[in-house]
A = this chain, B = another copy of it.
Amino acid sequence: MTDIIEAYLKKVLKQKEQVEIRRSEIAELFDCVPSQINYVINTRFTIQKGYLVESKRGGGGYIRIIKVQVLDELDMLNTMIEIIGNNISERDAKSVVQKLYDDKIISKREAKLMIVAMDKSLYTGDRVTDNRVRANLLRSMLANLCYEEPNKRKAD
């Protein structure tokens, strides 16, 4: 169900920069509880994936999902570095890398290298430490990409 609603919203976002919904209407449309919509948004339309969400309650209330716009590669990398901050979960880290791949800032091989490096199983086992180390790694790797010549793309 989550996947279906996600796909629906993404389809709309393919055409437009943003989409505005009434939570109860979408819930009705897909025959689910309204809070399911919050779940979809919280797990699939995060800032790490490149979305901003605004909403308002009360009469005429809405939820608005906005695709984040960035100017260029450097801007994107810096934005991501900021988003990462000093701690990041495995899931969010992988979202960030996926986003960079989707936006063709890194190659598939680079994405895979980075994604495997985000895996929880490689670290110490202490969540707090791991999230900090993971953020350090990811930030460093992205910062490194900032100083490089533009990506020479191989067919992938």
Count the copies.
2
B-facing mask of A120-131, CB < 8 A → 1, else 0?
011110000100
The count of residues in chain A whose C-beta lies closer than 8 Å to any C-beta of chain B is 33
Contact between chains at B124 and A133 (CB < 8 Å)? yes
Closest chain-B Cβ to A105's Cβ sits at a distance in Å of 11
A151 vs B148: C-alpha distance in the bound complex, in angstroms?
20
Residues of chain A touching chain B, judged by Cβ–Cβ distance below 8 Å, are 1-3, 7, 10, 59-60, 107, 109-110, 112-114, 116-117, 119, 121-124, 129, 133, 136-137, 140-141, 143-145, 148, 151-152, 156
Closest chain-B Cβ to A14's Cβ sits at a distance in Å of 9
A156 vs B107: C-alpha distance in the bound complex, in angstroms?
15
Q: Which residue of B60, B119, B140, B156 is within 8 Å of A116 (Cβ)? A: B140
Closest chain-B Cβ to A91's Cβ sits at a distance in Å of 12
